[in-house]
Structure 1
Amino acid sequence: MSGATTGDVRRGRRVILWRHGQTSWNLERRFQGSTDIELTDDGIGQARRAARLLASLRPDAIIASDLKRATATAQELGVLTGLDISYDDSLRETYAGQWQGLTHDEIIARFGEQYAAWKRGEPVRRGGGELETEVADRAAPVVLRHADKLPDDGTLVVVSHGGTIRTTIGRLLGLDSRDWESLGGLSNCCWSVLGDGARGWRLLEHNAGTLPEPVLGDDD
């Protein structure tokens, strides 16, 4: 949670958590994790369209994962706003070990029990990688640190990855980690908005930005 109390005079801060644009591995339903995959041409187009919408919200700061698909997405907003971008490897996607590079079907075929346990909400080191709580442990403090620097009613844009965004939202809302999956995934270049209220962070929007689109490989 944000640590805000009823005596905290700073209200109205917003955090926009924006997923990167489309990659070829998204289209193939191939688990990227921390593998550094670039945007497709369509992904660049998605980032440019979304950046125009987000620029209209007049953000005060932009932070981003240092993986190429996130940096390229963030740069589209940086160009429009003139803001410098702060890159942080703590905002990278979940490291998923042996799952990385495999398609959805291949993961189920090779790691069926592990996949089923993860979907049940059990703590699982997918492919021998990170726990979701460990991802939140590294990403959420970075988001909070930058949010604390905002002016009253300020807006922070965080450019990251589907799984990292979901775990960060879950942590900031104070949800039990078993319930994070209930937040659902983000489509490429869509975003969620958290608002800082009297009792902490609240989810104001989720998977916003376009007409409904399929979620392609949201944990990457």
Structure 2
Amino acid sequence: MRILLVEDDLDMSTALSRALSRRGFHVTLCLDGNTALRQMREGSNDAVVLDLAIPGLDGLHLLHRTRSQGILTPVLILTGRNSVGDRIAGLNAGADDYLSKPFDLGELEARLRALGRRQAAPVRRIECGALRLDLDSGAIFAADMPMALGPREACVLRALLAQPGHAVAKEALYRLAYPEQVPERQDFVEVLVHRLRRKVSGCGVEILTLRGLGYLLRRERGG
């Protein structure tokens, strides 16, 4: 497997690169987010090992940027941030896996090989109108073009697309989009849904408000 290792700690990246190389991986080192973005756009790697605290473009913003551009290379976050909130934020941003430091090298190898097997498998997707959600990557497309969505908009639309024709509670959408927000402000979800209605216009779908239940995504009638 060809691995892009994005880690700005030179001692850590050098040692990890050597260890993975001895286990049969081809590793390319990258020390900052902007360079990593260019590397990921080239699509020459089978997986990315990504630290969050990197210079230039930090790990979460790098994930948001690549996923919004339809770059589906599997990403494993490898970071010292180990709280539940950090893991949720990383996975919601589009990471495929999350491993906290310190870590066991054998576990990292196993997780990378699992990502490789998953990448080789057929893409699982959900479609509604011209919208498509790729379940493995979390990427959302409109008429086969990646949608320009903010991270919170993407969280809400993924949840609605995952269950087309079924109501999703406003509270559940709020928790997905704002995992660490206090105090609770569910009216924020209304703003996100308003934006999404504009962005999905022309895709043959509609987002309905079901009072007391939440929101529902479905094909437009006659679409």
TM-score scaled by structure 1?
A: 0.30
Larger % of strand: which? 2
Bigger Cα Rg: 2
TM-score scaled by structure 2?
A: 0.30
